[in-house]
Chain A
Amino acid sequence: MSMDYIVQIGKPMLEGAQTTILLFLISILASIPLGFVFTLMVRSAIKPLAWLANAYIYVFRGTPLLLQLLFFCFGLPVLPVIGEYLVLDRFVAACLAFVLNYAAYFAEIFRGGLLAIDKGQYEASKVLGLNRWQTTTKVILPQMFRVALPAVSNESITLVKDTALLYAVAVPELLHFAYTAVNRDFTIMPFVIAGVIYLLMTLVLTLLFKYLERRFKYE
């Protein structure tokens, strides 16, 4: 296996990896805040908001991401009457599915983080005269994010790998180019290279989250 060959197939694969990384970044940057909004809705005193958020989480956690992906890419356009207005760019539709799916998981992770905070923290804040907003932003959220960090790390690594599902809706990304090369050149090398590129991406994330966990160890 020549170095030339690796360089030759590596180029389109790295271009494919750009799509993978773009999907990853859009998904993580949008789903974390959205997930937190759902966490707040679940805990809201306004019951219909809580029901809505719970129903949302149930649906998006309870069905396969692949189904959601197919639904947004190919399902929406065939809806009667409104379908023709819902023909989204394939990549945009895929982003939508990923963001909505991951937001449901992050909502549950953050909810767990909030449950881990002792009620004494709220009481101490109240007695010291902090208002609700100050208590939330200065006392509760920093602790919640710290508790949630390992789970968020885990989830983001899963997200990197889930981007390969784009293959199913024919958006060219890393795996697509690897598979094309395997079929064309009759060699297993492109799969190995794809694996290495995924590992590099997850390595960066692993190191980043390790750093964050150390940085926010509070010792």
Chain B
Amino acid sequence: MAIIEVTHMKKSFGSLNVLKDVSFEIQKNEVIAVIGPSGSGKSTMLRSLVHLEEINGGSIKVQDQYLVKDGVYSSSPQIKAITSRMGMVFQHFNLFPHLTVQENLGLAPKHVKKQNKEEVRANGAALLQKVGLSDKADVYPGNLSGGQKQRVAIARALMMNPDIMLFDEPTSALDPELTGEVLAVIKQLAEEHMTMVIVTHEMSFAKEVADRIIFMDHGQVVEAGTPDQIFNQPKMERTREFLNRAAR
């Protein structure tokens, strides 16, 4: 059963059509990598799934509930309920600079989920251990490297216990030698069968970790399939062109 169903999604900024009729499905426990050139609409598509962008037409259905149906959004409590099932990791981390790592992790569980202090602390400690940053609990984000910041951001999203994790170019703002530590954490989540949608420029990572690849260009899904299909026998000329250029 599809956990996310997107049909005929359209989005424009003024006269610029960023998404032109995008449709796809994501199954539970599936890891999807979304690839494509800059400006192809990948990020906008991802951001639309958590209502950071409002689409102008089409439908988004998450866990059998409509976030938006034929361009009409659900009520705002419903939107909140649906998007609360998804965690998001941003290219620029977006950690709260005035809070320590531990406080970054605890803010939403404490105020949104009304969890008690002990629960928040225990969950936080467990997730920090998972991302290998147990020793950084009381450090401010300003004193972390990019890779460490992104691992904290992943832990922060996981604190809300999401069913689906969305990654918007999680390694694009990192120095090359720091991408590995972040990709390792995402890979670990994949092994635990977390449902994930990852917008990425890391082709080898996409190939290795994804169950399915979606290739987007000019606001459309050009081709979707297993990594083997997309990377080794792409059907579309445009896909081949992009992969050849990306490989160089």
Residues of chain A touching chain B, judged by Cβ–Cβ distance below 8 Å, are: 118, 120-121, 123-124, 126-130, 134, 138-139, 142-143, 146, 216, 218-219
> Cβ of A130 and Cβ of B98 under 8 Å apart?
no
In the complex, the answer to whether A138 meets B111 with C-beta atoms within 8 Å is: yes
Give the number of A-B contacts (CB < 8 Å).
60
Contact indicator A130/B87 (Cβ below 8 Å) = no
* Contact of A129 with B156 at beta-carbon distance under 8 Å, contacts A123-B94, A124-B96 already known: no
Chain B residues 92-137 with CB under 8 Å of chain A are: 92-98, 107-108, 111-112
- Assembly CA distance A139 to B86 (angstroms): 20
Contact of B107 with A128 in the complex, beta carbons under 8 Å: yes
Contact A219 B98 (CB under 8 A): no
Q: Are A128 and B143 in contact (CB under 8 A)?
A: no
Query: In the complex, what residue of chain A is closest to B112 when comparing beta carbons?
Result: A129
Given A118-B94, A128-B156, A130-B108, 5 more contacts at CB 8 Å? A120-B92, A127-B52, A128-B107, A129-B108, A130-B107
Nearest 5 CB-CB pairings of A with B: A120-B94, A124-B94, A128-B108, A129-B112, A127-B88
Q: Which of A121, A126, A127, A219 contacts B96 (CB 8 A)?
A: A121
Which residues of B lie under 8 Å from residue A146 when comparing CB positions? 98
Is the Cβ of A142 less than 8 Å from the Cβ of B94? no
In the complex, chain B residues whose CB is within 8 Å of the CB of A139: 96, 107
Question: Are the C-beta atoms of B108 and A121 separated by less than 8 Å?
Answer: no
The verdict on B140 contacting chain A, using a C-beta distance below 8 Å, is: yes
Q: Which residues of B lie under 8 Å from residue A130 when comparing CB positions?
A: 107-108, 111-112
Contact between B52 and A218, CB atoms less than 8 A apart = no
B83 within 8 A of A: yes
Q: Are B97 and A143 in contact (CB under 8 A)?
A: yes
Residue of A whose beta carbon sits closest to that of B81: A129
B50 on the A face (CB < 8 A) = yes
B180 within 8 A of A: no
Chain B, residue nearest A216 (CB): B98
A residues less than 8 Å from B84 (CB atoms): 129
Distance of A159 Cα from B157 Cα, bound (Å): 45
